[in-house]
Every structure is written in structure tokens, then in C-alpha cells.
Amino acid sequence: MEDIEKNARYEEARRHVREVRAFYTHALTYALVIAFLAALNLLRSPERLWFLWAAFGWGIGLTAHGMNTFALRGFLGAEWEARKIREYLDRRS
């Protein structure tokens, strides 16, 4: 049983590292695209700052991604899932 738990913890750590990498990739993409849109906006029509709408909308999604990756990790995360599995198995045996 100990090997199973070690393997499960390793897989959870691996999944988390992938989630963190995905968030950083998302953040970098956001920064590059918004910078491009800002430059385009300021060069073509500086009197109307439309790129802020894209930055705001996408920023909400990026914030949600970050919260899910870092802040809300324990909420319904791997520990909760493992606890619920143990509870279910205990009830069935």
C-alpha cells in the first residue's frame, strides 16, 4: 500500500508541476500578446485605447488560471480526493 501512496503522490506532484508550467506559459503568452496589441493600438489609434478591453478580459481568465493553480489547490484538490477515496473504500469494506 505504501508504494501505491508514493506513486500517487509522485503523480500528483508531476501533475502540479505541469499545471504550474501551463500557467507560466499562459502568463507569458498574455504578456506578449497584450504588449503587441498595446503597441498596435498606440501606433494606429492612440485616441481610443481598445487594447485595455482585451487585457481586462484575458486578465480575468489568467487570474482564474492562477487561482486554480496556486491559491485553490487544496480546495477539492488531490488531498481532498485521496481522503474521499479512503472514505469510500472504508465504507465498502
For the chain, percent of residues with pLDDT exceeding 90 = 56
Helix/strand/coil percentages in the chain, nearest 5: 85, 0, 15
Measured between alpha carbons, how far is 18 from 90 in angstroms, rounded to an integer?
31
Q: What is the structure's pLDDT at 79?
A: 74
Domain coverage including residue 77: 2-92
Average pLDDT value for residue range 5-29: 92
Interval 12-37 mean pLDDT: 96
* Mean pLDDT within 31-58: 98
User: 49 versus 5: which is more confidently predicted?
Assistant: 49
Is 40's pLDDT higher than 80?
Answer: yes
Question: How many separate domains does the chain show?
Answer: 1
Report the pLDDT value the prediction gives residue 30, as an integer from 0 to 100: 98
Please tell me the least confidently modeled range out of 1-5, 44-48, 89-93. 1-5
pTM for the whole structure? 0.75
Q: Smallest Cα–Cα separation from 11: which of 58, 81, 91, 87?
A: 81
